Amino acid sequence: MTTATIQTLDTPDGPFTILADDEGRVLASGWTAATGRILERLRAADRPSTVREGETDAAAAVAAYYDGYLAAIDAIPVAQHGTTMQLTGWAALRRIAPGEPLTYSEFAVQLGSPHAVRAAASICARNAPALFVPCHRVLRTGGALGGFAWGLDVKRRLLDREAGVPALVA
């Protein structure tokens, strides 16, 4: 039996919910207060059998991010399950610097598969721990926002925040 803790915080972009396992790794997160929407981001086989409300270690990093310390989310561990390409892609997303978004084509090049633009977009779409694995930093060619599970308004505000606030170094 696996257990996880779920916590919802207020942020300037609306409620933000974090689902973390007992080791403090973020399993899923996003801009909603609906627990079901967070759990649905995980494959059924990867969902915890028990979810309890409580405090997560990741909550402080979210608060710090919104206070301007954009790198705070980088140190938070995540747990993701997927194909080798998905795992490689999710790790690559964590290396995209705030304020320096990539296009899906550039992201595919980083993954070593320049023609796999659809696969790159799919990696972003299947990313469960939003913000901690910053899929919002990938755009369509030409700079259009593309998709985002939590809405294009949230994606735009995140990108604007990251473009206008210098990342603080620890």
Is the same domain home to 122 and 65?
no
Contact status, residue 98 vs residue 162, Cβ threshold 8 Å: yes
Is the same domain home to 49 and 97?
no
Is the same domain home to 101 and 122?
yes
Range of the domain at 54: 3-75
CA angle 90, 93, 95 (to 5 degrees): 125
Q: What is the pLDDT along the chain (170 residues), one digit of tens a residue?
A: 599 999 999 999 999 999 999 999 999 999 999 999 999 999 999 999 999 999 999 999 999 999 999 999 999 999 999 999 999 999 999 999 999 999 999 999 999 989 989 999 999 999 999 999 999 999 998 878 888 999 999 999 999 999 985 445 44
Asked whether residue 169 is assigned to any structural domain, the reply reads no
Q: Which residues are catalytic?
A: 135
User: How many folded domains does the chain comprise?
Assistant: 2
Contact status, residue 80 vs residue 128, Cβ threshold 8 Å: yes
DSSP 131-169: TTS-GGGEE-TTS-----TT-HHHHHHHHHHHHHSPPPP
Q: Give the closest residue to 127 by CA, choosing from 38, 62, 58.
A: 38
Write down which residue in 47, 75, 103 finishes a domain. 75
Asked whether residue 25 is assigned to any structural domain, the reply reads yes
Q: Give the closest residue to 161 by CA, choosing from 97, 66, 62, 93.
A: 66
Q: How many helices (H) and strands (E) does the chain have?
A: 6, 6
